[in-house]
Amino acid sequence: MESKIQQLKLLLGEITDLLYAQSVLSWDQQTYMPSGGAEGRGEILATLARLEHTRWTAPELGRLLDELEPAAQNWDPDSDDACLVRVARREFTKRTRVPNSFVGEFARATALGQEDWVRARQASDFSIFQSALEHVVDLRRQYASFFAPYTHIYDALLDDFEPGMKTAEVQTLFEELRGEQVSLVKAIADRPQLDTSFLGLNYDEAAQWTFGVDVISRFGFDWQHGRLDKSAHPFTNSLGFGDVRITTRPILNQLGSAMFGTMHECGHALYELGLAPELARTPLAAGASMAVHESQSRMWENLVGRSLPFWKFFYPRLQKTFPAQLGKVGLEKFYAGINRVQPSYIRTEADEATYNLHIMLRMELEIALMEGSLAVKDLPGAWNQRMQNYLGVTPPDTARGVLQDIHWSIGSIGYFPTYALGNLVSVQLWEKVRADIPDLDAQMEQGQFAELLGWLRSHIHRHGAKFEPQTLVKKVTGSPINAKPYLRYLKSKYSSIYGL
Amino acid sequence: MESKIQQLKLLLGEITDLLYAQSVLSWDQQTYMPSGGAEGRGEILATLARLEHTRWTAPELGRLLDELEPAAQNWDPDSDDACLVRVARREFTKRTRVPNSFVGEFARATALGQEDWVRARQASDFSIFQSALEHVVDLRRQYASFFAPYTHIYDALLDDFEPGMKTAEVQTLFEELRGEQVSLVKAIADRPQLDTSFLGLNYDEAAQWTFGVDVISRFGFDWQHGRLDKSAHPFTNSLGFGDVRITTRPILNQLGSAMFGTMHECGHALYELGLAPELARTPLAAGASMAVHESQSRMWENLVGRSLPFWKFFYPRLQKTFPAQLGKVGLEKFYAGINRVQPSYIRTEADEATYNLHIMLRMELEIALMEGSLAVKDLPGAWNQRMQNYLGVTPPDTARGVLQDIHWSIGSIGYFPTYALGNLVSVQLWEKVRADIPDLDAQMEQGQFAELLGWLRSHIHRHGAKFEPQTLVKKVTGSPINAKPYLRYLKSKYSSIYGL
């Protein structure tokens, strides 16, 4: 068995290398590639993805897993090797259920979908995107059928991003959130709105950059194993084990954008940088799920970066960086300002109180599309109706409505819920962190984050993708993913800020 | 046959993509990769190289070539398809003659060789490197044996870099050069030396950078399809078809270093950027050989960049950039200064009159090592003796002697001659250029290079790797590679500068 597991690691190591190679090419594409390189780059990436897929579906891999599994029954189920066999089997099974012809058609349909979406959004004209989206929806329904029988057609899609999680579980959680969050947003709307005009003054972009570097350095971002670069849309990518890169984009008259964006991506990066070295060059060297990953980015962005203790340390520094803009703005006013609640059209700009509502709306529409109870042509109307119900606003056009996100155009139906789940997990973990580190606030007020990072490393990061998200969250907090901590957090935070 | 050639292009397209992926990873490694990424990066690159090799030696490729070749006999031998079949056969044959076990051993030996070489050079102690080099030499002898019977054991090595070229041809050319160049250098040494102290003043690195960008923009470097970045050692790399990147490194008190280095790399890049679009995603989308590639870099660096007409246009701009350093240095003095001849220890710093002598010395030692007439342990002595004979200097230590170049440590025995051949080809082409563009000097004096670049594109660049170097040079100039133009050029240039 020892040599069989070595063979498995050899195969998976090659697959991991192919994945990292794609990450390097993709990172380069979004940061430094000259525009004329785009066409050829697409072909190179497609070749690497095809080679990776071929290896994931190789009969040789299936045979190895068949041979290993009987022995693996007797291994400690939490051991690296047992988890590796389990995770490899899962991916092998998922991949081999999908015919190669489908993989090719899906790649073409989503390439076209993305093109049409870009044009549709520019023109704010949903009809340009409609037929491409109909094709994508049809293919995602077909994809689900490869995993029949299922309890819910959406299960197979969700499972791509949240291993093992079921649609019904998420619906129950969202049901609990919806009413409470809608009420909270309404209660806040009845209070006088906060003045945040100071956040829209001109803030030198290089100075924003330097401030962001200072913050994430104190968070523990390791510059020997990471970089921060500029890109149109911020992202985090592991280009190899121990080579984790993040991007950001300072905007002159939006102080919050790059500042919180950089902390957010740093949260993702700290997760990848904290993986146990034993997991290197295996599929376990990754986050447990998109939601768990998002819990890390949201924790550093919101629970740390939008907290009062954090700003007790950093606000004097920020004022020193921007004396003309912030010299006369007090800490309390600044803290309240960066936490302003304001229903808006755009998900990526949403505050903590409204964000999940954007997500629920999307998941409900996705489920209706998959179930066939909603036609693609009726999406814009259904979108606007829910926006009005949940947030009390109606987008002025489809560019700021149903066309705002790239996800559907690239086939990522099933992805959105992970953002809201990430928020829930972040606070659920945070309550445990606070119990384990009673003086956390005092540490943050000193700009000290080492104990927090150490806690996350030992409880979350080092495990990588060894456990399914629900298993991991339960292991760490004693309960599966739970909406109550998040609701407690929102109510407490906004009661104090808005005097509810 | 139409579908067979499409199949061939499909296979070769995948191989080309794997090669480009390696280029992206290698470029990143030398420019932006954080140091902690090095270990993992090596593994990813090894995996991609292995996958590329497997495809080059696939029986499927051999069968396709067997089927295509009878038909290809009837095609125009200069057509893209005929050349593609020929070049693919050449690579397939070379690769399949070498056992996989050898490929693995060579990779390990050269990885170790490079490590030992770095340590040896740092300590200036050849003995640290000796046994690794003995292994490399032994493996290169073994490599040659896979291509027996041969006229000369060095032929197989040379052929890796100069397809179709024979050791005897190079020896004849170098024989003709050696005496003349040694005499020329001696004659120059008898003349009063030029003052070049102004080149060693402090030159702001950012201003050097901007000046270099201005120069290569006027050369025709296409920023939509290329980039200029910093790296420890300058290089050019194609990261895809139409994505060609160069690097440079300004040094504060060496004005010439980055300036001529940038022009040199730009020359390489213009070649790659001028390949015919029909050759994209095939092995023909490359230079004809290392020597032909070097002819392009040396042409822009030396025949353009170290010429008086070039500086008639650019020197006033350079003076404006650096008034304190160059305001009082006249054009003639500057021009003479950047062309100073001074025998020195280091090849990469050698001037045009001495450069080839550094190369001849290396090739002679390589041949002696391959023939077995020189033992590795006797290399340092043999090196110093030739340095004294050819250049009249003896290196003070092995770091500045036999240990100065990386090439042998990475197994590139057979590569050095291409540098000198590149010099010869550059001037041979240049004589033809001047005949075809009689007012070239006047154009350069106006900072105009479009007609020159157009000539190079239509005569050299667009052909890519369709023809062997000797075939291409003969097609364009009417003669195979010839030493006389280079000797004429040297004598004329230095007679005027040194008043010989």
Residue in A44, A48, A225 closest to B34 by CB: A225
B195: left (phi over 0), alpha (psi -120 to 50) or beta: beta
**Closest C-alpha among A384, A341, A340 to residue A361:** A384
Helix (H) or strand (E) holding A228: strand A226-230
Determine how many CB atoms are found less than 10 A away from the CB of residue A199. Answer: 20
Report the gap between the CA of B222 and the closest CA in chain A (Å).
9
A24/B25 CB distance under 8 A:
yes
Q: What is the mean pLDDT of chain A?
A: 97
B35/A241 CB distance under 8 A:
no
Residue in B48, B242, B281 closest to A36 by CB: B242
**Neighboring chain B residues of A47 at a CB cutoff of 8 Å:** 13-14, 17-18, 21
Report the gap between the CA of A99 and the closest CA in chain B (Å).
21
A28/B28 CB distance under 8 A:
yes
* Residue type at position B47: T
Instruction: Give yes or no for residue A1 having a pLDDT over 80.
Output: no
Let me know: does B494 contact B341? Beta carbons within 8 Å.
yes
Q: What is the pLDDT of residues B326-364, one digit of tens each?
A: 999 999 999 999 999 999 999 999 999 999 999 999 999
Report the gap between the CA of A245 and the closest CA in chain B (Å).
9
Place of tokens 């497609």: A46
A:195-224 residues touching chain B, CB 8 A cutoff: 222-224
The answer to pTM > 0.90 is yes
**Closest C-alpha among B308, B309, B355 to residue B336:** B308
**Neighboring chain B residues of A51 at a CB cutoff of 8 Å:** 51
Q: Which two tokens stand for residue A328?
A: 């006369």
pLDDT, position B39: 87
pLDDT, position B292: 98
Between CA A255 and CA B3 the distance in angstroms is: 58
**Neighboring chain B residues of A17 at a CB cutoff of 8 Å:** 43-44, 47-48
Apex A315 CA angle, A311 and A318, nearest 5: 135
Determine how many CB atoms are found less than 10 A away from the CB of residue B252. Answer: 13
Place of tokens 């902690």: B36
pLDDT, position A289: 98
Query: Counting one residue from A and one from B, how many pairs have CB atoms under 8 Å apart?
Result: 109
Chain B interface disruption, residue of A12, A54, A55, A239, most B CBs within 10 A: A239
In chain A, whose CA is at the least distance from the CA of B280? A40
Phi, psi of A414 (to 5 degrees): 115, -5
Asked if A277 has any chain B CB less than 8 Å from its own CB, the reply is no
Determine how many CB atoms are found less than 10 A away from the CB of residue A231. Answer: 16
Determine how many CB atoms are found less than 10 A away from the CB of residue B115. Answer: 14
Task: Name the percent of chain B lying above pLDDT 70.
Answer: 100
Report the gap between the CA of A22 and the closest CA in chain B (Å).
8
Let me know: does A11 contact A58? Beta carbons within 8 Å.
yes
**Does the CA dihedral A387-A391-A397-A398 come out positive or negative?**
negative
A:137-156 residues touching chain B, CB 8 A cutoff: none
Strands A236-240, B236-240: pairing is unpaired
Between CA B82 and CA B486 the distance in angstroms is: 33
* Residue type at position B286: A
**Neighboring chain B residues of A39 at a CB cutoff of 8 Å:** 241-242
Residue in A39, A225, A227 closest to B32 by CB: A227
A37/B229 CB distance under 8 A:
no
Asked if A498 has any chain B CB less than 8 Å from its own CB, the reply is no
Asked if B24 has any chain A CB less than 8 Å from its own CB, the reply is yes
pLDDT, position A2: 79
The residues of A that are catalytic are 265
A242/B40 CB distance under 8 A:
yes
A48/B20 CB distance under 8 A:
no
Phi, psi of A245 (to 5 degrees): -120, 140
Q: What is the ipTM of this complex?
A: 0.95
A20/B44 CB distance under 8 A:
yes
pLDDT, position A276: 98
Between CA A369 and CA B125 the distance in angstroms is: 72
Let me know: does B21 contact A21? Beta carbons within 8 Å.
yes
A34/B225 CB distance under 8 A:
yes
**Neighboring chain B residues of A13 at a CB cutoff of 8 Å:** 43, 47
**Neighboring chain B residues of A18 at a CB cutoff of 8 Å:** 47
Let me know: does B362 contact B410? Beta carbons within 8 Å.
no
Report the gap between the CA of B37 and the closest CA in chain A (Å).
5
Let me know: does B464 contact B273? Beta carbons within 8 Å.
no
Asked if A116 has any chain B CB less than 8 Å from its own CB, the reply is no
In chain B, whose CA is at the least distance from the CA of A242? B37
B227/A32 CB distance under 8 A:
yes
A224/B36 CB distance under 8 A:
yes
**Does the CA dihedral A301-A431-A362-A178 come out positive or negative?**
negative
Secondary structure (DSSP) of B329-344: S-HHHHHHHTT-----
Between CA A109 and CA A107 the distance in angstroms is: 6
A:175-194 residues touching chain B, CB 8 A cutoff: none
Q: What is the pLDDT of residues A29-45, one digit of tens each?
A: 999 999 999 989 999 99
Report the gap between the CA of B283 and the closest CA in chain A (Å).
14
Residue B23 makes CB contacts below 8 A (sequence gap 6+) with B237, B238, B239, B240
Residue A65 makes CB contacts below 8 A (sequence gap 6+) with A8, A85, A88, A89, A92
pLDDT, position B448: 98
B40/A20 CB distance under 8 A:
yes
Alpha helices, DSSP H only, in B227-322? Answer: 255-273, 290-298, 308-321
The three-class DSSP label of residue A236 is strand
Long-range contacts of A335-338 (CB under 8 A, 24+ apart): A335/A308, A335/A311, A335/A497, A336/A194, A336/A497, A337/A194, A337/A195, A337/A196, A337/A198, A337/A199, A338/A196, A338/A199, A338/A256, A338/A260, A338/A306
A:412-431 residues touching chain B, CB 8 A cutoff: none
**Distance of CA A303 to CAs A87, A194, A278, A351, Å?**
31, 20, 30, 13
Alpha helices, DSSP H only, in A244-301? Answer: 255-273, 290-298
**pLDDT < 70 positions in chain B:** none
Determine how many CB atoms are found less than 10 A away from the CB of residue B247. Answer: 21
Between CA B208 and CA B197 the distance in angstroms is: 18
Buried/exposed B117-145: b ≥16 CB within 10 Å, e otherwise = beebbeeeebebbbebbebbbebbbebbe
A17/B222 CB distance under 8 A:
no
Asked if A51 has any chain B CB less than 8 Å from its own CB, the reply is yes
Instruction: Give yes or no for residue A380 having a pLDDT over 90.
Output: yes
B43/A239 CB distance under 8 A:
no
**Does the CA dihedral A161-A165-A171-A176 come out positive or negative?**
negative
Between CA B482 and CA B297 the distance in angstroms is: 18
A:1-20 residues touching chain B, CB 8 A cutoff: 13-14, 17-18, 20
**Neighboring chain B residues of A14 at a CB cutoff of 8 Å:** 47
Report the gap between the CA of B241 and the closest CA in chain A (Å).
6
pLDDT, position B1: 73
Q: Which two tokens stand for residue B439?
A: 């007012």
Between CA A35 and CA B242 the distance in angstroms is: 9
Let me know: does B240 contact B225? Beta carbons within 8 Å.
no
**Neighboring chain B residues of A48 at a CB cutoff of 8 Å:** 17, 21
